[in-house]
Amino acid sequence: MKRINDAVVGLVVIVIVLALAGALAWVKGTDVGKRPHEVVARFHDVGNARVGNVVVIRGVVGGRIQAIELAPAGWVDVKMKLDPAVQLPPEPVVLLNESSLFGEWQATIVERSALPHDETVRQQIDDGSRGGGVLPGATLPGIGKLTAVAGQIAGDVASVAGRVEVAFDEQAARELRGSIRNVSDLSRMLATTVRTHASDLDTLSNQLRFAIATLNRTAVTVQGTASRIDSAATSKQVRDMIDNLAQASTELRHTSTQVRDLAGRFATTQTRLDSFLANGDSVMEKIKRGQGSLGLFVTDPSMYRRTDSLLVQMRSLIADIQANPKRYVSIKLF
């Protein structure tokens, strides 16, 4: 009897223990026989994330948070147990965020390039990247923070509304009514102006349309030309043309060298000519001032008179020599 009692108690104990172990493993999502791999992410603050929260990769639950521990230098290390089949994306980072409005948090593993465009988040990720050996992590603001900010904004709006209420008295209302009336008049005037200039606008738009059509035609022509250039570019003519152009450019380069020499010589000649002209100017100036023989000759009338007198004398001498050669020329042979 006692042995039967022992057997019954033992059976009940074993059955309950096995059932409990199985139930726990099932609820925790443990894969029996498969070794999950662990990754550790580093955060400044983990918000309301807790052990057991899910880890999501590309929208699919791929594991759970296994432990959250304080680490040195103000960090918090979050250990995550991932399913064996899960492969991390390149450059993985971990975001802790609320998964619903009911306080559920989750860890989301994403690529660094897929981070939200938030300066704070990127700063957290950059800080976490310096550690090495762990994934960098950032915590997105929870609904509590968002509602707190929204509450602050609502308070500010209420404050502004209160000020507007204070500022918007009867006088302001009258002025606003006047402003509205003015705006009404202005809009009426604008309508009249628009009606007046509607035909101009039509003409302008027609011209614009015509210009655009012209531009289109031009574009078609340019396109045709371009296609012709394309087709020509593929034939031999272009090569010949390019060869001719090369030869022409060689000759042109030669000619330009000669022209450059010529220009150099011309510059030398010009320099000399300048010098000659300067000297001529100097001579002419001296002549003008009556310096030198030529100056005296040009400017002094006595010189002219003497020269004229000399010429008269010379002419009479020559006449005398012609008339009486023997007076001046005596030829003796012995």
Partner 1 sequence: MTSADTVITVTPLPGEGKENPLVGGLSVVGGGVRRLLSTIGSEARFLADVVVGFRDVRTWIPETTTQALKLGVGSLPIALFIATFTGIVLALLASYSFTGAVPLYFVGTLVGKTVMLELAPVLTGLALAGRVGANIAAELGTMRVTEQIDALETLTYDPVAYLVVPRVVSGTLMFPLIVAASMMVGVGAGWVASVLLLHLSSPDFVKGLRLFFQTFDVEYGMVKSASFGFAVTLVGSRRGLRAEGGAVGVGRAATSAVVYSAVLILVLDAFWAVTWLLGREAT
Q: Cβ closer to partner 1: 49 or 109?
A: 49
Q: Cβ closer to partner 1: 78 or 138?
A: 78
Max CA-CA distance within the chain?
201
45 part of the interface to partner 1, by CB under 8 A: no
Among the listed residues 43, 73, 100, 308, the single contact to partner 1 using CB under 8 A: 100
Q: Cβ closer to partner 1: 104 or 285?
A: 104
List Cβ neighbours of 327 (8 Å cut-off, separation of 6 or more): 320, 321
71 part of the interface to partner 1, by CB under 8 A: no
Among the listed residues 38, 91, 104, 285, the single contact to partner 1 using CB under 8 A: 104
What is the secondary structure of 199-229 as a DSSP string?
A: HHHHHHHHHHHHHHHHHHHHHHHHHHHHHHH
List Cβ neighbours of 105 (8 Å cut-off, separation of 6 or more): 47, 48, 49, 50, 53, 96, 97, 98, 99, 142
Q: How many residues bind partner 1 (CB under 8 A)?
A: 23
233 part of the interface to partner 1, by CB under 8 A: no
50 part of the interface to partner 1, by CB under 8 A: yes
DSSP classification of residue 42: E
Where residue 73 falls (left for φ over 0; alpha for ψ -120 to 50; beta otherwise) is left
51 part of the interface to partner 1, by CB under 8 A: yes
- The answer to whether the beta carbons of residues 84 and 71 sit under 8 Å apart is no
Which token pair is 239? Answer: 């090569």
Among the listed residues 44, 47, 66, 68, the single contact to partner 1 using CB under 8 A: 68
17 part of the interface to partner 1, by CB under 8 A: yes
143 part of the interface to partner 1, by CB under 8 A: no
Q: Cβ closer to partner 1: 8 or 164?
A: 8
Cα separation of 250 and 253, whole Å?
5
222 part of the interface to partner 1, by CB under 8 A: no
Q: Cβ closer to partner 1: 13 or 164?
A: 13
2 part of the interface to partner 1, by CB under 8 A: yes
Q: DSSP E strands: which ranges in 112-248? A: 135-139
Residues found near partner 1 in the complex (CB under 8 A): 2, 5-6, 8-9, 12-13, 16-17, 19-20, 23-24, 27-29, 50-52, 68, 100, 102, 104
